[in-house]
Structure 1
Amino acid sequence: MSALVNMAAEVPENPLVPPIPELVIGLVAFFIVFGFLAKKLLPNINNVLDQRREQIEGGIEKAEALQAEAQQVLEDYRSQLADARHEAARLRQEAQEQGATLIAEMRAEGQRQREEIIAAGHAQIEADRKQAAQSLRQDVGKLATELAGKLVGESLEDHARQSRTIDRFLDELEAKAASDSTKAEAGR
């Protein structure tokens, strides 16, 4: 036996394999530390991980709720925008209709004013024609009286006689002019 112990003592020890008593003590210490960590530290780590997971899940749920709310706000905005566009189109249509009505009214008013101006012009022309005819009648009467007086050799100073002579002369001229215009129209 002593030879075996000597042989065993002579066999060089492997540096990678620890001696058995150290290995046993190391394993016992490892299991004590592992048991302590499993009993005390592992539940705390699991609690922290559970809380973190709940926060993350709560954050996701909150984000989903906010996203749903944002989607609802977006839909409301789009609905309001569509309503505003419809209202703008309606107002634009009303403005166009009012503009067309206003243009028609302005045209009618312009037409009415034009007709009034034309009527006033015709009335003015007629008044001017009558005044010119009256003035012409007086001038022609004076000239005819003077001419007749020179031809007859006596003065036609009597106003009544003068008026009758002038009226008769002018009536004859008007009758002759009317018959000439009737003949001219019949010849066409």
Structure 2
Amino acid sequence: MDAARYVGTLVAFFLIIGLIWWKVVPPIRKMMREKQESIRQQLEEAKRADERLAEAERKYADAVAEAKTEAALIRDAARADAQRMVEEMRTRAAQEVERIKQRGEEHLAQQHQQIIRELRAEIGQAATELAERIVRAHLAGESNRSASVNGFLDELERTSARTGEAVPAGAGEGAS
């Protein structure tokens, strides 16, 4: 009986294995294939995601490089503009300084001319007053007055003689 039991156990074992192989293994295989397919799809998606990430990183690096290039161009343009503005401001300042200097020189020249006119007028007036005082002092005496009039008349006669005009006789002598 041991052999029958052994054979019965063996047949039961094979029946259970057959039943498991027929009813349990196909759904497990199907589930394993689905899992393998899911894993394969996930791996493909991960690979595509890595490719997209690499592409995005490359685009990002390109964008950063382009932005740096643009920033350098903008910075250079800004420096050039700033330099140009500085030069324009220097030129304007130099022109303004020159204009102010010229206006100051013109103003000084006008003041100089005005002072000269005023001095001439004052000197002329002072000279006239001084000459008047000297003449009055000189003509205060009778002899000086008579000599001045006679000298003046003699000068007129000489001037007339040079020009050919005749001076009436006694014109220089009867006036004293």
TM norm. shorter chain > 0.5: yes
* Aligned twin of 1:69: 52
* Aligned twin of 2:129: 146
Please say if 1:26 is aligned against 2:5: no
Please say if 1:91 is aligned against 2:78: no
* Aligned twin of 1:128: 111
C-alpha displacement at 1:91, in angstroms? Answer: 0.7
Provide the C-alpha distance between the structure 2 equivalents of 1:110 and 1:60, rounded to a whole number of angstroms: 72
Q: Deviations over 1:130-156 (max 9, x none)?
A: 1000001111111111111111117xx
SS in 1 for 2:114: helix
Give structure 1 stretches of 5+ with no counterpart. Answer: 1-17, 155-188
SS in 1 for 2:60: helix
* Aligned twin of 1:35: 18
Q: Deviations over 1:12-69 (max 9, x none)?
A: xxxxxx9444333222211111111112221221111111111101100111001101
RMSD of aligned alpha carbons: 1.5
Q: Which moved more, 1:79-88 or 1:41-50?
A: 41-50
C-alpha displacement at 1:76, in angstroms? Answer: 0.7
Number of equivalences: 137
Provide the C-alpha distance between the structure 1 equivalents of 2:28 and 2:94, rounded to a whole number of angstroms: 96
Provide the C-alpha distance between the structure 2 equivalents of 1:60 and 1:150, rounded to a whole number of angstroms: 130
* Aligned twin of 1:44: 27
* Aligned twin of 1:6: none
Please say if 1:110 is aligned against 2:88: no
Please say if 1:54 is aligned against 2:37: yes
Which letter maps to 1:68?
Answer: E
Which letter maps to 1:54?
Answer: E
Provide the C-alpha distance between the structure 1 equivalents of 2:89 and 2:26, rounded to a whole number of angstroms: 91
TM, length-normalised to structure 1: 0.69
Provide the C-alpha distance between the structure 1 equivalents of 2:124 and 2:75, rounded to a whole number of angstroms: 71
Give structure 2 stretches of 5+ with no counterpart. Answer: 138-176
Provide the C-alpha distance between the structure 1 equivalents of 2:14 and 2:96, rounded to a whole number of angstroms: 116
Provide the C-alpha distance between the structure 1 equivalents of 2:122 and 2:77, rounded to a whole number of angstroms: 66
C-alpha displacement at 1:74, in angstroms? Answer: 1.2
Identity %: 28
Which letter maps to 1:83?
Answer: E
Match of 1:81 among 41, 55, 64: 64
